[in-house]
Structure 1
Amino acid sequence: MNILIIEDESRIAKRIERMTRDFFANTLLSLHHVEALSDALEFIKNNSLDIVLLDLNLNGENGFDILSSAVSESFHTIIISANSDQAISAFEYGVIDFVPKPFNRERIEQAFNRVLLKEKTESHKVKLLAIKKRSRIQLIPIEDVLFIKGAGMYTELFLTNGKKELHDKSLEKLEQLLPHTFERIHKSYIVKMSEVKEVIVKPGSKYIAELKNGEFLPIGRTKYKNLKARWL
């Protein structure tokens, strides 16, 4: 695990660091701490990360100024903040968990386990998917996504306007963040259930999802029963 802590209070940062080291033990490859947003953006740009732990109030700087950039990356973001009233907004951006201050070891470990055990977020309130577009970040409303295809370590978002966009998160990571309106139907595909027109059974126990836009997506054999039950 490569982890970055973005926290301006030294005492709290050291506490988070101690709990992180205790939890990950021998699986922790690197743990870095920065206090300012500019340093955080620079570090994220130049380093491979698995988890970012982000405070939302950094010496008067707003953590949301980095959030859209952070959630467009391949890693998961965990918010650790006293600003509990901003939890809903943070989940809408696509964070994996929001840990309110003051926190204890159990709550921090719960957030880490959510990442490791690939659990879905409790709120499922993600409304935006952030993607990198050259020198800027583009926020795509979740309602504009028809289906998602795995592309190695990345994913391809297929949108209602016919366009396709590349996301840095893997299919597994996006599956954790997406609302229940989306379903994993295949090892390489997640689809918005409202877009499924018909479930087709072909000879040889092959299953196909026909979408309303005319697309045909494969359905894994182990996924067929659950998908058919939901679709009906």
Structure 2
Amino acid sequence: MNILIVEDESRIAKRIERMTRDIFGDALQSLTHINRLHEALAYIETHSLDLVLLDLNLNGENGFDLLTTVVSQSFHTIVISAYKDQAITAFEYGVLDFVPKPFNRDRLKQAFNRAITKEKPENKIKYLAIKGRHRIQLIPIENLLYIKGAGVYTELFLADGKKELHDKSLEKLEQLLSPTFERIHKSYLMKMSEVKEIVVKSGSKYMAELKNGELIPIGRTKYKDIKAKWV
């Protein structure tokens, strides 16, 4: 694991670092602490990361100014903040977990477990942030039809016919999205409310026909489960 701590209070940062090293042990490859937003952003752009631990108040700067940028990246983000009233908004933007201050080791470990397992957060994500040419764009989840894996990236297929590229893998997006999205195939995440019909083709090929007429493959091992949930 390569982890970045973005926290302006040295005492809290050292506590997070100590707990993180204790929890991950030998699985921790690198752990870096930065206390300013612009420095954190520069670091994120030039280093490969698995996890960012982000405070929302950094020397008077708003962590949300960094949040849309970090949630558009390939790694997961966990917010550690005393501003509990901002938790819902943070989840809507696509953080994996929100750890309220003060916190203990068990609560931090719970957040880390979500990063390394397929446990879904209880709160609903409302947007997927993607990197545009000059800015971060927020894609409302309600406009998303399905997601296709494209190596370490994913392709987002939208209701208006557009296609956008996301830096997160299919596995990481599956962790974030609510149960309204199902993994119907090793390469596809589908919003089940968009399925019009389940079709069986010759050669025992299973397809999900969408309301817009598109056909998306269903994995053979997933067919029975998907059909039961769709009905």
TM-score (norm 2): 0.98
Cα distance in structure 2, aligned partners of 1:201 and 1:50: 39
Tell me what 1:158 maps to: 157
User: CA deviation digits over 1:102-144, x for unaligned, max 9?
Assistant: 0000000000011111211122x10000000122101010011
Shift of 1:204: 3.3
Tell me what 2:178 maps to: 179
Q: Give percent identity, aligned residues only.
A: 74
Which secondary structure state, in structure 1, belongs to the residue aligned with residue 128 of structure 2?
strand
Tell me what 1:37 maps to: 37
Give the aligned residue type for 2:185.
Answer: H
User: CA deviation digits over 1:8-37, x for unaligned, max 9?
Assistant: 000000000011111111111111000010
Cα distance in structure 2, aligned partners of 1:105 and 1:205: 50
Tell me what 2:128 maps to: 129
Cα distance in structure 1, aligned partners of 2:117 and 2:146: 24
TM-score (norm 1): 0.98
1:98 aligns with 2:98: yes
Tell me what 1:8 maps to: 8
Tell me what 1:73 maps to: 73
Which secondary structure state, in structure 2, belongs to the residue aligned with residue 53 of structure 1?
strand
Shift of 1:214: 1.1
User: CA deviation digits over 1:41-60, x for unaligned, max 9?
Assistant: 00001111000000011111
Computed over aligned residues only, the root mean square deviation of the Cα atoms, in angstroms, reads 0.8
Tell me what 2:199 maps to: 200
Name whichever of 68-77 and 179-188 sits farther off.
Answer: 179-188
Cα distance in structure 2, aligned partners of 1:118 and 1:180: 12
Cα distance in structure 2, aligned partners of 1:119 and 1:231: 22
Give the aligned residue type for 2:82.
Answer: A
Structure 1: gaps spanning 5 or more residues = none
Cα distance in structure 1, aligned partners of 2:118 and 2:76: 11
How many correspondences in the alignment?
231
Which secondary structure state, in structure 2, belongs to the residue aligned with residue 108 of structure 1?
helix
Give the aligned residue type for 2:207.
Answer: I
Cα distance in structure 2, aligned partners of 1:188 and 1:64: 32
Name whichever of 218-227 and 13-22 sits farther off.
Answer: 218-227
Cα distance in structure 1, aligned partners of 2:126 and 2:138: 9
Give the aligned residue type for 1:176.
Answer: Q
Tell me what 1:53 maps to: 53
Tell me what 1:169 maps to: 168
Tell me what 1:216 maps to: 215
User: CA deviation digits over 1:170-214, x for unaligned, max 9?
Assistant: 000000111221111000001111110100123433211001111
Cα distance in structure 2, aligned partners of 1:41 and 1:168: 16
Cα distance in structure 2, aligned partners of 1:226 and 1:90: 32
Cα distance in structure 2, aligned partners of 1:133 and 1:53: 24
Cα distance in structure 2, aligned partners of 1:164 and 1:60: 37
Cα distance in structure 1, aligned partners of 2:32 and 2:155: 30
Cα distance in structure 2, aligned partners of 1:134 and 1:162: 20
User: CA deviation digits over 1:85-108, x for unaligned, max 9?
Assistant: 111000000000000110000000
Cα distance in structure 2, aligned partners of 1:91 and 1:221: 33
Give the aligned residue type for 1:71.
Answer: V
Shift of 1:224: 1.2
Tell me what 2:21 maps to: 21
